[in-house]
């Protein structure tokens, strides 16, 4: 007889999954980053695995942002972009993920000299190959790197509106939240342009700041889904609003631990968010950088937070429901989740 732990791990492995919050550069495996670092040895990233693992030990979120930008600087050609997409798709497909909304920060690629149409062509080709060769559907979210202010906002909106990939579904903002206030109007204008073009608003908020940032992404950016949102537990009125509107929250427990937003996984607010009836999804954020996977986040939910099969299946369903996949695609994955739970 398998142990209970073995049994729950087998269930998690078999569970069909959807990933809503994973960044393109942050999804790059160690081997891919090493390949890029050795290809571009003039860059700031170590070229040995031991040094790279040490490079990925983050003191805090600003340090993580520095490392992320350093890795981004290695992505210099459209072929590099496509390689990253296919690598992320391959890793997720191996975890029984059926669909991913991959966050791309196109402004960082523009700063490395890539033209908007070339980036878009690479993204389109990679999405087609992921579906044909790996059986996973890839959609994209363009996000503003908050640290780059007005220039980053305007360039990201222009790319999203004038040169969108076929599978572009959303528009977001990430980076260091404390740097956003001086550019609030610029960010609002960029989101208006993206929403007018039919894109969904999916900003990060409440990851490293208090509830005020979540209020801003809801009221100022028209958030339909929120990246992280964990500081909502500090504001009962905000939790009431999130529960009433059922705005999905993309929760990434291991990411929050690795960047110092929580001291210990046992202190993570996810159980409180569930108890309060909030719409929670599980996600990996930047998996190799944080030494996790999407499957690993479901294991954390089981082992640290004590969730059972039905609750894990509910989280998997939430991700499907919160996605921007077409209704037929959603129904197929939901049916497969029900089938695995019934077994």
Per-residue pLDDT reduced to its tens digit, 125-148: 999 999 999 999 999 999 999 999
Q: What is the pLDDT of residue 40?
A: 85
pLDDT at 3 over 70: no
Higher pLDDT, 1 or 287: 287
Q: Is the pLDDT of residue 1 over 50?
A: no
Reply yes or no on whether the pLDDT at 122 is more than 50.
yes
Containing H/E element for 200? strand 200-201
CATH number of the structural domain spanning residue 259: 3.20.20.140
- The mean-pLDDT minimum among 62-66, 91-95, 292-296 falls in 62-66
For the segment 81-104, the average pLDDT, to the nearest whole number, is: 96
Counting the structural domains of the chain, the total is: 1
DSSP assignment of 255-316, as one string?
Answer: HHHHTTSSSSGGG-SHHHHHHTT--EEE--BSHHHHT--HHHHHHHHHHTT---HHHHHHHH
Range(s) of the domain holding residue 284: 4-342
DSSP class per residue in 74-126: T--SHHHHHHHHHHHHHHHHTTTEEEEEEEE-HHHHHHTT--HHHHHHHHHHH
Judged against a pLDDT cut of 70, whether residue 267 lies above it is answered with yes
pLDDT at residue number 33: 85
d(CA 280, CA 314): 9
Active-site residue identified among 101, 207, 250, 297:
207
The per-residue pLDDT for 228 is 98
Q: Is the dihedral of CA 117, 225, 260, 31 positive or negative?
A: negative
What does the pLDDT look like over 152-163, one tens digit per residue?
Answer: 999 999 999 999
Residue 199 has what DSSP assignment? Answer: P
Q: What is the pLDDT of residue 5?
A: 66
Which of 126, 115, 24, 127 lies closest to 77, judged by CA?
Answer: 115
Q: Say what the pLDDT of residue 2 is.
A: 52
Whether residue 100 has pLDDT greater than 50: yes
Residues 335, 338, 340, 342, CA torsion sign: negative
166-225 pLDDT, tens per residue?
999 999 999 999 999 999 999 999 999 999 999 999 999 999 999 999 999 999 999 999
pLDDT higher than 90, residue 307: yes
Which pLDDT does position 148 carry in this prediction?
A: 93
User: Is 80 exceeded by the pLDDT of residue 282?
Assistant: yes
Question: How high does pLDDT run on average in the chain?
Answer: 94
Which pLDDT tens digit goes with each residue over 232-248?
A: 999 999 999 999 999 99
For 59, counting Cβ atoms within 10 Å of its Cβ (0-12 exposed, 13-18 middle, 19+ buried), the class is: exposed
Between residues 52 and 190, the one the model is more confident about: 190
Q: Annotated catalytic, 303?
A: no
Rounded Cα gap, residues 313 and 318, in angstroms: 9
Q: What is the pTM of this model?
A: 0.94
47 has pLDDT over 70: yes
């Amino acid at each position: 007889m398998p142990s209970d732990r073995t049994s729950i791990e087998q269930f998690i492995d078999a569970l069909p999954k959807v990933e809503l919050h994973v960044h393109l550069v942050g999804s790059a495996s160690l081997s891919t980053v090493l390949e890029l670092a050795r290809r571009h040895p003039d860059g700031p990233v170590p070229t040995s695995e031991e040094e790279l693992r040490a490079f990925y030990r983050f003191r805090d979120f600003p340090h993580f942002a520095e490392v992320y930008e350093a890795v981004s600087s290695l992505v210099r050609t459209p072929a590099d972009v496509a390689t990253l997409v296919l690598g992320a798709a391959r890793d997720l497909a191996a975890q029984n993920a059926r669909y991913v909304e991959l966050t791309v920060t196109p402004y960082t690629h523009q700063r490395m000299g890539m033209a908007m149409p070339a980036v878009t062509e690479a993204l389109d080709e990679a999405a087609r190959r992921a579906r044909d060769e790996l059986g996973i559907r890839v959609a994209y979210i363009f996000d503003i790197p908050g640290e780059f202010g007005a220039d980053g906002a305007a360039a990201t909106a222009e790319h999203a509106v004038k040169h969108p990939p076929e599978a572009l579904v959303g528009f977001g903002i990430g980076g260091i939240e404390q740097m956003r206030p001086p550019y609030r109007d610029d960010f609002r204008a960029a989101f208006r342009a993206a929403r007018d073009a039919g894109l969904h608003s999916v900003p990060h908020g409440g990851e490293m700041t208090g509830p005020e940032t979540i209020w801003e992404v809801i009221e100022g950016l028209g958030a339909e889904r929120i990246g992280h949102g964990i500081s909502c537990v500090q504001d009962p009125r905000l939790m009431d609003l999130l529960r009433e509107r059922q705005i999905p929250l993309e929760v990434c427990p291991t990411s929050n631990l690795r960047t110092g937003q929580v001291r210990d996984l046992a202190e993570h607010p996810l159980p409180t968010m569930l108890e309060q009836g909030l719409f929670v999804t599980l996600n990996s954020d930047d998996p190799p950088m944080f030494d996790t996977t999407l499957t690993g986040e479901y294991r954390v939910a089981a082992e640290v937070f004590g969730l059972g099969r039905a609750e894990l299946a509910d989280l998997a369903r939430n991700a499907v429901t919160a996605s921007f996949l077409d209704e037929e695609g959603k129904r197929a994955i939901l049916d497969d989740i029900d089938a695995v739970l019934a077994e």
